[in-house]
Structure 1
Amino acid sequence: MTSSVVVAGVGMIPFTKPGTSEPYPMMAAKAVSIALADAGITYDKLQQAYAGYVYGDSTAGQRALYDLGMTGIPVVNVNNNCSTGSTALYLARQAVASGVVDCALAVGFEQMTPGALDMKFPDRPSPFERFNALTAELIDGDDIPFALRYFGGAGLAHMKEFGTKVETFAKIRAKASRHAARNPMAIFRNVMTEEEVMASPMLWPGVMTRLMACPPTCGAAAAILVSESFAKRHGLDTTVRIRAQSMTTDTPIAFDARDMREVVGLSMTRNAAQQVYEAASVGPEDINVVELHDCFAHNELITYEGLGLCPVGGAEKFVVDGDNTYGGKVVTNPSGGLLSKGHPLGATGLAQCTELVEQLRGRVDARQVEGARLALQHNLGLGGACVVTLYERVLA
């Protein structure tokens, strides 16, 4: 795959609380329409579409797109848990890079319900059987929701090994709120302090408060990927390209290490990031801005180490020194991340894409990372899949 892949257009709608959103076809159609307008092309130019969602019936992707046009193109429905949106992006990028098509759409959407995530098909084996069994051995507390046990347990493992303080997770959450205050697309835009995060209801004593967890969210986002030749033929913006991308799944270490950080995909993250760095001939020190999967503040902290943004065991110092925000080494989650922007599962990866593309174009006003040239995206789904994407601003 040698063809250069251009991100010609991106679009998303403001994220909202469950019960307040429009139906998923309307949300998806709006996001795609914004992306098409941003690219400067019409729907009939699309040759393939990849539609990502987690909670929805089969062929919901077709239902979401048919109102825009029934052109007969392949529509592939994608479900890879919380990495669904970036998996759709990965497939669209492969289709363009391989030369199979010149113009592909990736769209993600989610119409969620309030409350903690739960299993929709309890009458059959869960894809989390092995994860749950090991988590039950490592972590007490059957009354704790499963996602909280996974990621809270991962944070607890870091606390036990390196002495990381629970207040450090609160610092990460407060940072997210400061960033989101500059983002009109974020669901929560109120700035909060570390003390306010710590004062919120305790979900797991000594480990996690409510504000350290992302909220269930509804929304949609989309990206138009094209070949360089297509972009030139149609006079499209070629400022941002995907320089490298990798998708990984679990290896035996996820269970053999008996470490909750591995259960939630630390090695998936590390492997995907290393593959991207090697393919692009860059290192983590070259990255200017990152959108990473902060479903819990705890996962943001361990992901710093997984992406190589700081040494193993150095994540707390990275946070305390302010190296994860403006004026530091690398700005992480300028959008506010999942913690403040929201986490509509199928849309999250494409919302991350939208933020980073706009950062590289220099179009995000108050939250702009000055001089950004390389942007890294990390999107994780348990069960498991991790997609890491490196975007590059091409200098004229």
Structure 2
Amino acid sequence: MPARQIAPAYVLRVGLTKFVKPRGKVDYTELGYEAGIKAMLDAHITYDDVNQGIACYCYGDSTCGQRVFYQFGMTGIPIYNTNNNCATASTGLVMARNAVGYGAADCVFVVGFEKMNPGSLERFWKDRADPIGRSVAMSEQIRPLTKAPPNKRTTKGPTENIRHGAKPRDFAEIARINHEHSQRNPYSQFRDVYTLEEILKSPVIESPLTKLQCCPTSDGGAAAVVVSQAFLDARPELKSQAILIAGQSMGTDPITTFNGTAANLVGAGITRTITKAALAEAGIPSMQDIKVCELHDCFSAAEMVFIDALGISEPGKAHEYIRQGHNTYGGRTVSGIMAGGIITTANPGFVARELANQLQDSGARFLLLAEASLETALQAAKLIDYNRGSMFIFDDAPLQGHGRSERKGIEGNTADCVRQTVAILYPSGTTGVPKGVEITHYGLVANCCQLDYLFNLTPRLLFFATVAPYRRLPVYIMKQYSLPAMLNNIQRFRITELTLPTTILSWDERETSTTQAVGEPVPNCQVKLMDEDGINEVPAGQRGELWAPCPNVMKGYWRNPEATRDTMTADGWLKTGDIAFRDENGKYSIVDRKKELIKVKGNQVAPAELEALLLGHPDIQDAAVVGVKVGEDERPLAYVVRKAGSNIMAEDIFSFMSERTAKIKRLCAVVFTTGIPKNPSGKILRRQLRERAAKESADVASHFNFDQMAKL
């Protein structure tokens, strides 16, 4: 009888505790509670939203689940306790998905916890039949044990791998990599790194397994929130964080388990069957299309068996797969963006506080950095207790950043990828700490298509990077842009070619110059100018706020649905906050900003962020920051009210801010005043301050800190 069609089910968020040694002071109630609370907080739900609870554990009395769940509340929901040995957690997730997918619940809360006995795993009920006795007896017939392993059923796998050519060093290499991975996992019980020789020389448990190839018993907890499509439709702000369960399968032993094969005794046959079913449901051709795989590998031998059984490697070639380094970072089964990971980039000029804010808000699990930024990264990690084991320094290998790959790409599921976030960018916001901007896979591809179109408009070469060294011509590089310096260098060095950053400007010899314009919309991008109320579109020649619904426009603000609603319309138009006008040739010019950002050398600086820092100074009563024109650029200027009795000087404030901000955010001047103009609700009247600065331009200029400005 064919299975019923199951409706979509999503993992909304998860929670996890650190793994600790058994017999610790932490009880299972605390482990389950910590994991559960973390999951609910991360999912932005309350216990009242939960329709069913599933408790997963192996060691404990039959109603431990109720004991844990009652800590969240007593709402009368059904709570199911499940014990299925190593598959207990998977069983709980399958039960949750079935409850949601077949309409029994819209929100199921799965909480797993374990408080184990120390030492080897043993049976508890010894007055009744051993559930795995048949497997143990058969494994003894296939390969008699020379030493008693911690778990007889699991260590039988090496037999076939050794027959195919695996060596003891291959099993030890699995352990070496796993120990290395543990230092990057803040939840690991042990985070020590060992060499291959140390692993091979550790006490033998059962050849070829040594002690350092076997996981110790641990106590810990984990939780997941599984929800329906209807649950998400009623809470659209949660959709971006939901992960679809595309395929899932469970099974038990087929008759072939006892066909005399050691690998099947430890689950290889079951694994092949359920993997095939899960892939088929997800619409994935084979395991070769999977980029990240997490294995239950309590022994290195188990990982060797399951790499083969899952179809990650060619049949009988798991040991070769290990030797090629495919089971670790940079290997064939691990990747970043293509694995569904999210990238967030940070300004290398950030100070520790700014980097810490971004790491914390984005939830980045790994930090890749240049060696020059290491000190800042370490300081940031200390501020937020970030795992230093998750920080990696780029090597000095040359970057291959040109040309076209001949490698065949993977056709993704367009329906799933359109709204999936690929990157979180952090331009400065207008309300303090910068907000994360979500860019989707679809938006990134659209941007690449725009660039590809522009770069292929002409058959001529666009870059001459190799011509100068080939012709032995000198190349002069300006480390910092300055118009007078650039003109001086052109004249001084007789420059014949000049590389400049430009906006996207079309050129038509029939048109007069429009150098003040920023250009026209890039391919596949539409824009319009709206009146102050955002209701009517303004005609050419009149000023209005620039709106754009381009395919590469952001998805929204990361974990900030309110800010997203304020910035984007329901039909996808982005309110840029820029005031612009369109001329008769369709060129757009930016003339002002509806928002309050300060543009410094093309970077966005938020006055609110600088004001928050100023107000943290013990001698400052009040402060406001506005942008003032300095030549063709803008710089932040601070109006400051001293506290009574304070004699703080501008130099003190410059020094205070320089230690806490990137160079682009440093103040160009400080003007002391008796009060900051504000409206009745306390909002700073920045327009008044900008007008004041313009009227008092000569006086303001006398306050300029030219040393600070020169460092930009």
Equivalent residue of 1:245, what SS? coil
How far apart are residue 21 of structure 1 and its match? 4.6
Task: Check the 8 A contact 1:9/1:39 in 2, yes or no.
Answer: yes
1:171-320 to 2 correspondences below 5 Å: 171-204=173-206, 206-234=207-235, 235-239=237-241, 240-255=243-258, 257-282=259-284, 283-320=286-323
1:74 equivalent in alignment to 2:75:
no
Match of 2:447 in 1: none
Match of 2:451 in 1: none
How far apart are residue 286 of structure 1 and its match? 1.5
Task: Check the 8 A contact 2:52/2:107 in 1, yes or no.
Answer: yes
Task: Check the 8 A contact 2:17/2:221 in 1, yes or no.
Answer: yes
- One-letter code aligned to 1:131: S
Task: Check the 8 A contact 2:21/2:217 in 1, yes or no.
Answer: yes
**Counterparts of 1:237 and 1:219, CA distance in 2:** 29
Give % identity: 37
1:89-108 to 2 correspondences below 5 Å: 89-108=93-112
**Counterparts of 1:35 and 1:393, CA distance in 2:** 26
Greater helix share, structure number? 1
**Counterparts of 2:239 and 2:148, CA distance in 1:** 48
Structure-2 change in CA distance of 1:271 and 1:35 (3 Å):
same
Query: RMSD across aligned C-alpha pairs, in angstroms?
Result: 2.3
Task: Check the 8 A contact 1:49/1:105 in 2, yes or no.
Answer: yes
Match of 2:325 in 1: 322
Structure-2 change in CA distance of 1:315 and 1:392 (3 Å):
farther
- One-letter code aligned to 1:71: T
Match of 1:140 in 2: 144
Query: Residue 58 of structure 1: which of 56, 62, 76 is its match?
Result: 62
How far apart are residue 143 of structure 1 and its match? 5.2
Equivalent residue of 2:249, what SS? strand
Task: Check the 8 A contact 1:53/1:84 in 2, yes or no.
Answer: yes
How far apart are residue 303 of structure 1 and its match? 0.5
Task: Check the 8 A contact 1:136/1:142 in 2, yes or no.
Answer: no
**Counterparts of 1:42 and 1:329, CA distance in 2:** 40
Task: Check the 8 A contact 2:52/2:79 in 1, yes or no.
Answer: yes
**Counterparts of 1:284 and 1:76, CA distance in 2:** 33
Equivalent residue of 1:76, what SS? strand
- One-letter code aligned to 2:173: K
**Counterparts of 1:49 and 1:28, CA distance in 2:** 12
Task: Check the 8 A contact 2:29/2:68 in 1, yes or no.
Answer: yes
Aligned length: 345
**Counterparts of 1:66 and 1:25, CA distance in 2:** 10
Match of 1:170 in 2: 172
Task: Check the 8 A contact 2:149/2:205 in 1, yes or no.
Answer: no
- One-letter code aligned to 1:311: E
**Counterparts of 1:99 and 1:315, CA distance in 2:** 41
Task: Check the 8 A contact 2:156/2:265 in 1, yes or no.
Answer: no
How far apart are residue 271 of structure 1 and its match? 0.6
Match of 1:349 in 2: none
* TM-score, normalising length: structure 1: 0.83
Q: Deviations over 1:355-385 (max 9, x none)?
A: xxxxxx98422569xxxx99xxxxxxxxxxx
Match of 2:365 in 1: 364
Q: Which has the higher contact order (CA 8 A, sep 6+)?
A: 1
**Counterparts of 2:50 and 2:41, CA distance in 1:** 13
Structure-2 change in CA distance of 1:249 and 1:393 (3 Å):
farther
How far apart are residue 113 of structure 1 and its match? 1.4
1:9 equivalent in alignment to 2:10:
no
Q: Deviations over 1:139-193 (max 9, x none)?
A: 223751461x32322112321x212101101100111111111111111111212
Equivalent residue of 2:24, what SS? coil
- One-letter code aligned to 2:270: M
Task: Check the 8 A contact 1:241/1:393 in 2, yes or no.
Answer: no
**Counterparts of 1:198 and 1:85, CA distance in 2:** 32
- One-letter code aligned to 2:226: L
Query: Residue 48 of structure 2: which of 38, 44, 47 is its match?
Result: 44
- One-letter code aligned to 1:221: A
**Counterparts of 1:259 and 1:362, CA distance in 2:** 45
Task: Check the 8 A contact 2:17/2:31 in 1, yes or no.
Answer: yes
**Counterparts of 1:81 and 1:287, CA distance in 2:** 26
Structure 1 outlier segments of 4+, above 4 Å: 391-394
> Which has the higher Rg, Structure 1 or Structure 2?
2
Task: Check the 8 A contact 1:7/1:238 in 2, yes or no.
Answer: no
Match of 1:380 in 2: none
* TM-score, normalising length: structure 2: 0.47
**Greater CA drift, 307-316 or 188-197:** 188-197
Equivalent residue of 2:86, what SS? coil
How far apart are residue 229 of structure 1 and its match? 2.0
**Counterparts of 1:64 and 1:123, CA distance in 2:** 29
1:123 equivalent in alignment to 2:127:
yes
**Counterparts of 2:140 and 2:277, CA distance in 1:** 32
**Counterparts of 1:108 and 1:36, CA distance in 2:** 14
